[in-house]
Amino acid sequence: MCDNARKICPVFPGAKQMIHQSFEDPSSANGTKEETLEVYRKVRDQIKRWILENLNIF
């Protein structure tokens, strides 16, 4: 998800494909509690949208 996670992502033998998508790391957000929460919500929504558009799960 975050670029630093890509470096430590495990490798699964026999996997057909590795998919990586970068998202902003919300833990680096600054501001009030509400401003920080809004950053987390934004990233959550970006992840959901990416999954729905690219993985055809639902």
Position 9 scores a pLDDT of 74
Distance CA 29, CA 34 (A): 11
Taking the model in full, what pTM does it have? 0.72
Residue type, 27: S
> Domain locations in the chain?
1-7+20-58
pLDDT tens per residue across all 58 residues of the chain: 556 666 777 778 888 877 888 899 999 999 999 999 999 999 999 999 999 998 876 5
Report the 10 Å Cβ neighbour count for 8. Answer: 6
